[in-house]
Structure 1
Amino acid sequence: MSLVTPNTSKIDRLAELTATHESSSGNSLWREAWGRLRRSKAGVIGAVVIAVFVVLAVVGPWFAPHNPAAQIWRDEVLINKGEFVGPRGENWFGLDHLGRDQFSRFLVGARQTLLVGVVSMLIGLVIGAIIGGVSGAAATLGGRNGKRFDTFVMRVTDIMLALPSLLLAVSIAAVLGQSLTTVMIAVGVVQIPIFARLLRGSMLAQGNKEYVLAARSLGIRKRRIVMTNILPNSLSPVIVQATLSLATAIIEAAALSYLGLGSPDQSAPEWGAMLTQAQRFFDNAPMMSVYPAVGIIITALGFTLLGEAMREALDPKLRG
C-alpha cells in the first residue's frame, strides 16, 4: 500500500497541475485573441455584416411587405416588349419577370441562403472533425497500427481534395437529384476533407508538445490525453476555418442553384435561384441580377473578413 499510494497521488497531482496550466494558458490565449479581434477593423466590419445578414434572415420574412411567391403585378410586366417595373414606392426593388415583389423575395431568400450555408458548414465540420480527430489521435498515440490507419484515411481525403470543389459538388448534386437538401449535402461533403486535414494536422502538432510527453511518461491513459489536452488545444484553427467555410458554402450553394441543381420549386426565393431566373432578362432588367448578387458578395465578404481577423488573432506568433 505504501508503494502504490504515493505514486498514484503524484500522478494525479501532476495531471492536475498540467490541466490547470493548460486551462490558464488557454484562457489567456483566448483573452488575448479577443482583445486583438476587437481592435481589428476588418474583424469588426465582418462581424457587423454578419450580424445584419443574420437579423435580415431571421426577422426579414416577417417584415416582407408582400407574398414572395404571389404574382400580384403580372399584368404590369411586358416581357415580350422588354418592359419591367423598376423600383417604386410599392415595390422597393421593383418586380421580377412574373410580377413578384423583388424586395420581398430578397428578404425571404436571405433565410434560405443562411440555412443552406450553415447546414452545409455543419455537415462538413462535424463529419470532418470526427474523421480528423480519430485520424489525428491514431497517428499521435496509436502506435504502428494507428499510423497505418491514419495513412489510409489521409490518402482518401487527399483524393477528395484533388478534385475541384465545385465539380465534386456538382457531381454529388447530379447523382442525388434536384433539391435544396441535395445542395446542402453536396456542399457539406466538399468541406469534409478540409476540416479533417486541418484538425488532424493541428493534433499532430499538439502531440509533440512537452505536456503530452510528460503525461505519457506518467502513464496517463491515451484517451484521457487526447480528450482533455490534445483535442481542446487543437480546435482554434478549426473554428476559424468554420467561419471561412460559411462564405465558401454560401457561394457554392448559390452556384449549384444557379446551375439548376437547387430546389425544383421555382417560386421559392433563394439568392442563387433568383440569379438563375434573372440571367435571361439581364439586358432589359439588370437589377434583377444585381440585388441577389450583391447580397451574396457582401455576405461572403463579411464571413471572410471575420474569419481572417480570427486567424490573425489566434496566431501564436502574434502573442506578446
Structure 2
Amino acid sequence: MSLATTKTSKIDRLAELTAKTETSSGASLWREAFRRLRSSKMAIIGAVVIAVFVVVAIVGPWFAPHTPTAQTWRGEVFPNQGKFIGARGENWFGLDHLGRDMFSRMLVGARQTLLVGVVSMLIGLILGALVGALSGAAATLGGRAGRRLDDAIMRVTDLMLALPSLLLAVSVAAVMGQSLTTVMIAVGVVQIPIFARLLRGSMLAQGGKDYVLAARSLGIRKRRIVLTQIMPNSLSPVIVQATLSLATAIIEAAALSYLGLGNPDPAVPEWGVMLSQAQRFFDNAPMMSMYPAVAIIVTALGFTLLGEAMREALDPKLRG
C-alpha cells in the first residue's frame, strides 16, 4: 500500500470519527442546552415577551382600530392643548398631540421597531462574522502574512470599540443623512466589531483543542480544518450575542430616532419617534412618553433575558 493511500485512509477515518463525534456530542450539547432553557424561568419570560412583541409587530397593523396617521380627533385636542385626552372607549391609550389614536400608533410602530432591530442586528452579524472569520482564519493558519492581516484587522476593530457606540452610530447617521435605512446601517455598523472580536476569539480558542491537533498530526490541510471544524464549533457564542444585540439595536435605534436622525416623516409611527415627539408634552401629557418608553424597555428586557439564558445554557462550565 502506497504512502498516499495510507494517508488518504487516515484522513477518511478521521473525518468519519469526527462526523460521528460531532453528531453525538453536538446533538447532546444543543439538546442539553434546550433542556436547560425550558427549565429556566428567565428564558421562559424572555421568550414570552419576544413572542408577544413579534406577534404584535406582524399582525398588529391589521388589528389597529384606527388609521395611525389620521388626525381624526384633531378638533378635540387643539382647543385643549394643555390637557391630555387619556384612555377612553374609542381610544384605549388616548390621543397624541395631533389627535391621533395612540393605541393604533403603538401597534403599527411595533413593526417598524422590529424591522429596524432585526435588520441592524443582521448587518452587524453578517459583516462582523465575515471580519472575525477572516481575522481568526489568518491567525489560526499562521504565517507572517496571516499574523499581519490579523493585527491590521484587530487594530481597526479596537479603534471602533474605543468609540462610544451611540456616538459612533450618531456619526454614521449624520454622514448618511436622515432616513430609516440610515438608522439600520448606523446601528449595524456599531455591532460589527463586537461580532468580529467574539468570533475571532472563539476561533482562536478552538484552534488549541485536541481535535485540531489530531487533524494537523494526520496532515489535514489547515484551511480545511478551519472551514470544516473550527468555524462551525465557534458559532455558539455568536448566536447568543446576536440575541443580546437585538436588545441593544432596538434601544440604539430608538435613541437615534429620538435625536431626530430616524425617519424624516414624523407621521410614520415608530416607538423612538413617538418618544421624541412626546417629550415636549411630558409635563401635561406624561402618558404619551410612558407608552413607547415602557414598550422599548420591556422588549429590550425580553431579548436580554433570553440571550443571558442561552449564554448560561451553552456555557460548558455550568453544564452538569
Report the counterpart of residue 291 of structure 1 in structure 2. 291
Which position in structure 2 is the counterpart of 1:46? 46
Q: Is residue 230 of structure 1 aligned with residue 230 of structure 2?
A: yes
Deviation at 1:95, TM superposition (A): 0.4
- Counterpart residue type for residue 169 of structure 1: A
Are 2:178 and 1:178 aligned?
yes
Q: 2:167, 2:255 → 1: CA distance?
A: 11
For 1:197 and 1:3, locate their aligned partners in 2 and report how far apart those are by CA, in whole Å. 41
Whether the aligned pair in 1 keeps the contact of 2:199 and 2:234 (CA below 8 Å) is: yes
Deviates more, 1:55-64 or 1:31-40: 31-40
Which residue in 1 is equivalent to 2:301? 301
Q: What is the distance in 1 between the residues matched to 2:4 and 2:303?
A: 54
Shift of 1:312: 0.3
Counterpart Cα distance in 1 of 2:125 and 2:73? 44
- Could you tell me the percent identity over the aligned residues? 82
CA deviations on 1:20-46 (whole Å, 9 max, x unpaired) are 212321111111111111111000000
- Residue 85 of structure 1 and its aligned partner are, at CA, apart by 1.3
Cα distance in 2 between the residues matched to 1:63 and 1:283: 31
The answer on 1:156 being equivalent to 2:160 is no
Any idea what SS the aligned residue of 1:231 has?
helix
Aligned to 2:241: 241
Which structure 1 segments of 5+ residues have no match? none
Aligned-pair distance for 1:81? 4.4
Matched, 1:76 2:104: no
- 1:66 is the counterpart of 2:66: yes
Q: Aligned ranges for residues 61-140 of structure 1 at < 5 Å?
A: 61-78=61-78, 81-140=81-140
Equivalent residues in 2 for 1:22-37, closer than 5 Å: 22-37=22-37
- 8 Å contact 2:7–2:218 — kept in the other structure? no
User: How far did residue 11 of structure 1 move?
Assistant: 1.9
Indicate if the aligned counterparts of 1:78 and 1:84 stay in contact, CA closer than 8 A: no
- 1:223-250 CA distance string (max 9 Å, x none): 2211211011100100000000000000
Whether the 8 Å contact between 2:81 and 2:97 is mirrored in structure 1 is no
Deviations 1:100-140 (A, max 9, x none): 00000000000000000000000000000000011101101
What's the offset of the Cα at 1:221?
A: 2.1
Which residue in the other structure is 2:208 paired with?
A: 208
Is the CA contact 2:57–2:107 (under 8 Å) kept in the aligned structure 1?
yes
The answer to whether residue 13 in structure 2 is matched with residue 13 in structure 1 is yes
Read off the aligned partner of 1:199 and give its amino acid letter: L
Whole-Å separation in 1 of the counterparts to 2:116 and 2:229: 33
* Matched letter for residue 270 of structure 2: E
Name the CA distance, whole Å, in 2 between partners of 1:146 and 1:162.
24
Task: Tell me the TM-score normalised to structure 1 length.
Answer: 0.98
- Count, aligned residues: 320
Change (3 A) 1:17 1:273: same
Q: Distance in 1 between matches of 2:21 and 2:259?
A: 52
Question: Is residue 257 of structure 2 the alignment partner of residue 257 of structure 1?
Answer: yes
Q: Does 1:269 align with 2:269?
A: yes
Question: Tell me, what secondary structure is at the counterpart of 1:91?
Answer: coil
User: Which sits farther off after the overlay, 20-29 or 252-261?
Assistant: 20-29
CA distances 1:278-309 after superposition (whole Å, capped 9, x unpaired): 00011111110000001000000000000000
Partner of 1:143: 143
Q: Distance in 1 between matches of 2:136 and 2:50?
A: 32
Instruction: Classify the secondary structure of the residue corresponding to 2:263.
Output: coil
Preserved contact between residue 79 and residue 97 of structure 1 (Cα < 8 Å): no
CA RMSD between the two structures: 1.1
Shifted more, 155-164 versus 72-81: the winner is 72-81
- The structural deviation recorded for 1:314 is 0.3
Which amino acid is 2:42 matched to?
A
CA contact (8 A) 1:57 1:111 kept: yes
Distance change (3 Å), C-alpha of 1:79 and 1:125 = farther
- In structure 1, C-alpha distance between the alignment counterparts of 2:93 and 2:254, rounded to whole Å: 20
Counterpart residue type for residue 255 of structure 1: A
Distance 1:145 1:213 in 2: 22
For 1:226 and 1:24, how far apart are their aligned partners in 2?
A: 21
Partner Cα separation in structure 1 for residue 311 and residue 319 of structure 2: 13
For 2:34, what is the secondary structure of its paired residue? Answer: helix
Corresponding residue of 1:219: 219
Code of the residue aligned with 1:269 in structure 2: it is: P
Q: 3-state DSSP class of the match of 2:78? A: coil
Contact 1:69 1:268 in 2 (8 A): yes
Question: Higher mean Cα deviation, 220-229 or 166-175?
Answer: 220-229
Q: Which range moved further: 262-271 or 4-13?
A: 4-13
CA spacing shift, 1:236–1:183, aligned 2, 3 Å:
same
